């Protein structure tokens, strides 16, 4: 079973960027960990990151076309990208699972982070558990597919 694990803008800076909020583990380490968590559940997890909104949209189209489930940390796109939301809706409407992930708890932060335009079309959301949020998302997918 294929899973696209998509990361939005600035997440390539994990470990360097605001470690008080996002921790000190690097993006490269996340890629390694996610592949391992996938292996534990027989899921082929393809981890990607982009700062580009159109690339995220295209990857969501790819998920539909290749029948891959999605774990996505849309980062700041969470709060305003209707293009990404519309692409995400195509994923779940086509019967695939899409788990929204956040490292921090956006609801405990600035008001502009309290809105997620993607939550309403996601299968579910996991937030606030550091990089553990991604591990829980892999687990949630595996459970839902079992
Ligand atoms: C984030 C939360 C967003 O508000 C923020 O823009 C990010 C990361 C998180 O993982 O906690 O870049 O999605």
Sequential pLDDT tens for the chain (146 residues):
999 999 999 999 999 998 999 999 999 999 999 999 999 999 999 999 999 999 999 999 999 999 999 999 999 999 999 999 999 999 999 999 999 999 999 999 999 999 999 999 999 999 999 999 999 999 999 999 99
Closest to 106 (Cα-Cα) out of 132, 84, 79: 79
Residue boundaries of the structural domains of the chain: 2-145
The values of phi and psi at residue 142, to 5°, are -60, -45
* Per-residue confidence (pLDDT) for residue 9, from 0 to 100: 98
* CA of 102, closest atom in ligand 1: 10
Please give the span between the terminal C-alpha atoms of the chain, in angstroms, as a whole number: 11
Fill in the DSSP letter of residue 95: T
Provide the annotated active-site residues: 22, 102
CB 92 near ligand 1, within 6 Å: no
CB 104 near ligand 1, within 6 Å: yes
Q: Is 79 annotated as a binding residue?
A: yes
* Per-residue confidence (pLDDT) for residue 8, from 0 to 100: 98
* CA of 21, closest atom in ligand 1: 11
CATH for the 2-145 domain, from 3.40.50.300, 3.20.20.70, 3.40.50.9100, 3.40.50.2300 = 3.40.50.9100
Q: Beta strands 69-73 and 44-49: pairing type?
A: unpaired
Angle (CA) 88 90 92, round 5°: 75
Q: Is 126 annotated as a binding residue?
A: no
pTM for the whole structure: 0.97
Question: Taking the C-alpha atoms of 99, 59, 105 and 43 in order, what is their torsion angle to the nearest 10 degrees?
Answer: 40
* Per-residue confidence (pLDDT) for residue 79, from 0 to 100: 98
* Per-residue confidence (pLDDT) for residue 37, from 0 to 100: 97
Q: Is 71 annotated as a binding residue?
A: no
Question: Rounded distance, CA 78 to CA 71, Å?
Answer: 13
* Per-residue confidence (pLDDT) for residue 64, from 0 to 100: 98
Give me the helices (H) in 26-76, please. Answer: 27-40, 53-66
Question: Rounded distance, CA 3 to CA 133, Å?
Answer: 16
């Amino acid at each position: 079973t294929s899973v696209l694990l998509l990361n939005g803008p600035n997440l390539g800076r994990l470990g360097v960027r605001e470690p008080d909020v996002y921790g000190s583990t690097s993006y490269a380490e996340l890629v390694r960990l996610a592949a391992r968590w996938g292996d534990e559940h027989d899921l082929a997890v393809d981890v990607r990151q982009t700062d580009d909104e159109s690339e995220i949209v295209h990857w969501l189209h790819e998920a539909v076309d290749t029948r891959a489930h999605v774990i996505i940390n849309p980062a700041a796109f969470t709060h305003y990208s209707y293009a990404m939301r519309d692409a995400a809706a195509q994923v779940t409407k086509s019967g695939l699972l899409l788990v929204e992930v956040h490292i921090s708890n956006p609801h405990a932060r600035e008001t502009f982070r309290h809105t997620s335009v993607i939550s309403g079309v996601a299968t579910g959301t996991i937030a606030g558990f550091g990089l553990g949020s991604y591990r829980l998302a892999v687990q949630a997918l595996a459970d839902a597919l079992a």
